Chain A
Amino acid sequence: MAHAHAHDDHPKHLAHHFDMMDQQVASAKLGMWVFLGTEILMFSGLFLGYAFLRYMYPDMLLKAHELLDWRLGAFNTVVLITSSLTMALAVRAAQLGDKKQLKTQLLITIVCALIFMVVKYFEYTGKFAHGIFPGRYYMEASDQFLGGPQMFFGLYFTMTGLHGVHVLIGIGVIAWMYIRAGRDEFGPDNYTAVENTGLYWHLVDLVWIFLFPLLYLVK
């Protein structure tokens, strides 16, 4: 079995520790899905924290979330969904071996991610300017109380912050794919790396799909 490929032409992108391409692709994708599972579990802790806060202090939460601007959240939602589409189109272009299209779509995805982070930057600095910080740094000590807005903003900054870190990492990985696409590394026989990058990026979009209504909209 180990030398089964000796009879055929050895596929160009097949690593030596795999018998065949199908096996290599399946391993890579299974690994990616398991990783995405751990990502979901990590974020679920924060979502549970939010659910706890909402259950214990509903009045405070409904009041505190008004301090966030839903327009910026909605704008960022549109930006992220667009980037998810372009990422999916990038994978499609790689499947079809359309290098030009692949590079274009990856580039649009990166630009969308950067727009997202710029909006996030203005949101954060806007909050800081008004003394809205997480935990006990929230405004004056006299503005804090048990189950007060400082708890909501503790979660807000943690959840959007962790999500933001994921966006930044995504920008890095997609840029790496862009460089590799420029080196002609991808084609119909070999696009698993682009596909897995896409899976990661869609997960970042998924997390935001839940963060947006929970933090900005629910009144």
Chain B
Amino acid sequence: MASTTSTTSKTYIHGEPVPTPDAHAHVTPLKTYLGIFGALMFLTVLTVLVSFMDMGPYGIYPAMMVAVVKAALVIGYFMHLKWDDRFHSFVFLGTILFVAIFFALTFADLTTRDLMQGQWANDVLQEERIRATPEMLEARERFLSGSHGETPADGAVAPQGTTAQPPATTAPATDAPVQGQ
């Protein structure tokens, strides 16, 4: 409690003393810190184990859920937000709100392109398909079917099954902005 602080300075507003929220008084017990540390370690092991269940693209859901729990533990206890001035929570949650808006608006676009039908909806994808050279499609096939995971060097040292094409014909892949017709 307040007895741990040596500063007993008072705040005055219009000459009246007002109590100040003394967030500094709180010292987290060692046990709590060690408990949080243990929980974070457990969740790390958990997220690794879950990733071996091979859930394909859906694996991101449990992974993100665990990550959010870990983040909440770090923010609440290690960063002390649980006992801190509430205004700091407001600043933090305000930031998260804007990150959410950032993601929501972007995905509102991405996920509804197919619904828009016709004209401009899938122009970007369409143009990418037009720009894809046979060499690129072949490279794609090679990459997605190959056992790239085990030996990353394979592709670099011996591009197997390539019909030696001059590298000049392959356009610089995706770095260039898509040109409209």
Contact = CB atoms under 8 A, between A and B. Distances in A.
Contacts of A22: 7, 9, 11, 20, 22, 24
B70 A209 contact: yes
SS class, residues of chain B in contact with chain A: helix
Interface residues of A, number: 85
Most chain B CB within a 10 A radius of its CB, from A41, A140, A195, A218: A218
Contacts of A36: 92, 95
Contacts of A199: 79
Nearest to B98: A41
Contacts, number: 226
Contacts of B41: 78, 81
B116 interface: no
Interface residues of B, number: 84
Most chain B CB within a 10 A radius of its CB, from A11, A25, A217: A217
A60 interface: yes
Interface of B: 4-7, 9, 11-12, 20, 22, 24, 27-28, 30, 33-34, 36-37, 40-41, 44, 47-48, 51, 54-57, 59-60, 63-64, 66-67, 70-71, 74-75, 77-80, 84-85, 87-88, 91-92, 94-96, 98-99, 102-103, 106-107, 110-111, 128, 131-132, 135-137, 139-140, 142-144, 148-149, 152-153, 155-156, 159, 162, 165, 167, 170, 172-175
Q: Which 8 A-B pairs have the closest CB atoms?
A: A66-B149, A131-B156, A37-B95, A145-B136, A217-B51, A213-B63, A144-B173, A130-B152
